[in-house]
Amino acid sequence: MCGIVGYIGNNKAVPYLLNGLHKLEYRGYDSAGIAVAENGKIKVTKSAGRIANLEKKLQEKEPYTADVGIGHTRWATHGEPSDVNSHPHSSAGEKFCLVHNGIIENFQSLKASLEKEGVIFLSQTDTETAVALLEKNYSGDVILALSKTMKQLEGSFALAIICEDEPEKIFCARRSSPLVMGKSDEGNFIASDVTAMLKYTNNVYKLGDDEIAVVTKDSIDFYNINCKKLKKESEQISWSIEDAEKGGYDHFMLKEIMEQPKAVAETVLPRIKNRKEIVLDTVKLSEEELKNIDKIYIVACGSAYHVGVIGKYILEKMTRISAEADIASEFRYRNPILDEKKLVVIISQSGETADTLAALRLAKENGAKTLSIVNVVGSSIANESEAVLYTYAGPEIAVATTKAYSAQLSVIYLLSAFIAAKLGKLDKEGLEAFISDLENMPGQIQAVLESSFDEMEKLADLFLETEHAYFIGRNLDYAGAMEASLKMKEISYLHSEAYGAGELKHGTISLIEPKTVVVALCCNDEIFAKTISNIKEVRARGAAVIAVTTEKHKNEILDVDFVVSVPDARAELLPSLEVIPMQLLSYYTAKKRGCDIDKPRNLAKSVTVE
């Protein structure tokens, strides 16, 4: 949520800042701005709207020649997306200029007391209080002023600052909002996300909570909040710049959809040994500890929560431990029953989602065992959970997740079979059969991609004549319907809802009328016939119906507008297959409706605010 970039080196800063902002635009795109330190003065250009607006403004000005600068792309929280609310923000005396990610929760009280002292604020942002405070706390030592300011700020922040008195430095600080630094032959970089600097380096330093960094052309130094110098090692990131570029596709979303067989293979296969054992090195829970667990909570937000809902069905079915899926923002405020007998599984692509991180902390504080499924190595959730199982999906740029979702699902399968085997709920043969099916999954996903690619493009036409769509299913199919519906609404702006197929008749069926599109997921063998009855109910009310089922059932579904089929597979693994045509259907619907697929309105990829 919001992107920060900074450059300091021997070259002109602006091209590096703009390149970095383009890479980070998926984090927020309400406004963008940069600040450079040039000839002893700080110069700022910022604009509401996309980066293109900022670029236009810059072109109309005398070009900046500075070799140091910071930049920001915003997802608005406090104050509308206007020029004045855009970052960077300067202090009244114009000594400091900063960009900020996160939320300063006590900004109102800070602002009131600063106003009493005569400070005049220009924007409605919480951020402006931080820069005002910095100037107030400054008496010649920026690190000291920053340390004092951090102690007064409540909430979350990643800050990048330039100061008129020390124009050859970028000062950084963070609490609960990511910030990384990298050295390269072309200069040194800072960014909220490694993708902004992958073109130049993949060797990065991660700033920790309540730490400060000072970046110059030749050095990066770290301090704790009490200004004590810290030693920090850099980390090698395995992602490459190609991973973070479109590579010939029209949209990142389509590229990422097509990368799913690889993401799943890379997440699953290294964890399978000799086709008969699942090795999860980081999960240290002994058989005894597993036996003691009386409940598994799976906690996440957005699509990761939908993975959690699928996980609830599969974990419970395979391990016979009661499992529940929770939305992180609800879980943390509902006083859940947590103790050492609970296993809390946290799922997050970014590893930085504020509510999910808070849920993890709550679980730990209350003695529960914690395990996270995360895509970004070294992210806050990965760092803070007792065990982490990484998904190896590579960087995901499109706001709507696809490949990270599929990789998360595959970790759920691994984990379920791993626990079930340890508890003796899955015998040797059963485990080997499960593993063999898992190994086939990347190939099956590839097959669905190939068979449904053109089909979904045509089928998307059905969604051009309606403003309402319903996705229905039972059990695992219902969980799949939740994700299919979210995907459709978030990128195509079509109103869509997911319903348990059996629940429709308790109210929602009154909304079904001719031309309403109902997508019925009915892959699950055990309840196939039940869902078919529900299809008949909506059909009788004139709905256009698309049924998604397996090869073996496809000829049994009559009287619908279209049947989409996926290969036959073990029930637990079918969610990974049925989601593929649904992603493509959303993609093509959004494309035909002229939507901004990779950057849907009002959304951001990494949600680091509550």
Cα-based angle 20, 21, 26 (whole degrees, multiple of 5): 115
CA dist list (Å): 262 to 269, 393, 405, 443, 483: 10, 8, 13, 9, 21
Q: Which is nearer to ligand G6P, 197 or 304 (CB)?
A: 304
Is 153 or 399 the residue whose CB approaches ligand G6P more closely?
A: 399
> Quick one: 474 or 599, whose CB is closer to ligand G6P?
599
C-alpha span between 75 and 26 (Å, rounded) = 10
150-160 b/e (C-beta count within 10 Å ≥ 16 → b):
bebbebbbbbb
Active site residue 46: no
What distance in Å separates the CA atoms of residue 309 and residue 297, rounded to the nearest whole number?
Answer: 10
The distance of closest approach from Cβ of residue 301 to ligand G6P in the complex, given in angstroms and rounded to an integer, is: 4
DSSP string, 533-547: HHHHHHHHTT-EEEE
Distance CA 61, CA 48 (A): 17
Question: CB 457 → ligand G6P: shortest distance, Å?
Answer: 23
Which residues are 43's β-sheet partners? Answer: 36
Q: Do 79 and 123 form a contact (C-beta atoms < 8 A)?
A: yes
Residue with nearest beta carbon to ligand G6P: 302
Task: Using CB under 6 A, list all residues that contact ligand G6P.
Answer: 301-304, 348-350, 353, 356, 399-401, 603, 605-607
Smaller CB distance to ligand G6P: residue 403 or 605?
A: 605
For residue 239, the minimal CB distance to ligand G6P (Å) is: 16
Which is the catalytic residue, given 148, 312, 489, 605?
A: 605
- The label of the residue with tokens 């795109």 reads 29
Quick one: the chain helix, strand, coil %, rounded to 5? 40, 25, 35
Which CB atom, from 36 or from 400, has the smaller least distance to ligand G6P? 400
406 contacts 263 by C-beta, under 8 angstroms: yes
Alpha-carbon gap, residue 306 to 308, rounded angstroms: 5
Q: Identify which of residues 350 and 534 has a Cβ nearer to ligand G6P in the complex.
A: 350
Active-site pick, 2, 163, 301, 523: 2
3-state secondary structure of 525: helix
**Closest to 373 (Cα-Cα) out of 344, 337, 336:** 344
Q: Would you give the DSSP letter of residue 509?
A: G
- Residue with Cβ nearer ligand G6P (102 or 167): 102
Phi-psi region of 63 (alpha: psi -120 to 50; beta: other; left: phi over 0): beta
Minimal distance in Å, beta carbon 307 to ligand G6P? 9
Phi, psi (deg, nearest 5) at residue 328: -60, -40
Q: What is d(CA 137, CA 131) in angstroms, rounded to the nearest whole number?
A: 10
Report the residue number, 193 or 211, with the smaller CB distance to ligand G6P.
Answer: 193
The DSSP secondary-structure symbol of 475 reads T
Is 126 or 483 the residue whose CB approaches ligand G6P more closely? Answer: 483
Helix (H, G, I), strand (E, B), or coil: what is residue 187?
Answer: strand
For residues 175 and 177, what is the distance between their CA atoms, to the nearest angstrom? Answer: 6
In whole angstroms, what is the distance from residue 606 CA to residue 577 CA? 26
- Residue 23 CB, shortest distance to ligand G6P, in Å, is 17
Is 282:389 a contact under the CB 8 Å cutoff? yes
Residue whose C-alpha is closest to residue 363's, from 325, 332, 334, 330 = 332
Min dist CB 372 to ligand G6P, Å, is: 10
CB 356, min distance to ligand G6P, A:
5
Please report, to the nearest 10 degrees, the dihedral formed by the alpha carbons of residues 302, 306, 308, 314 taken in order: -170
Rounded to a whole number of angstroms, the minimum distance from the CB of residue 396 to ligand G6P is 8
Our answer to whether residue 172 is catalytic in this structure is: no
**Nearest residue (CB) to ligand G6P, 195 versus 401:** 401
Could you tell me the smallest distance in angstroms from the CB atom of residue 25 to ligand G6P?
14
Strands (E), 265-310: 272-273, 277-278, 295-300
Q: How far is the CB of 167 from ligand G6P (least distance, A)?
A: 36
Q: Please identify which residue in the block is written with the tokens 């599984």.
A: 345
Neighbours of 569 (CB within 10 A): 19
2 vs 47: CA distance, rounded Å: 14
Please give the Cα distance from 151 to 126 (Å, whole number).
16
- Give the nearer residue to ligand G6P in terms of CB position, either 153 or 486: 486
Q: How many residues belong to the chain? A: 610
Cα(525)–Cα(549) distance, integer angstroms:
9
Min separation Cβ 352 and ligand G6P, Å = 7
Query: Which residues form the catalytic set?
Result: 2, 605
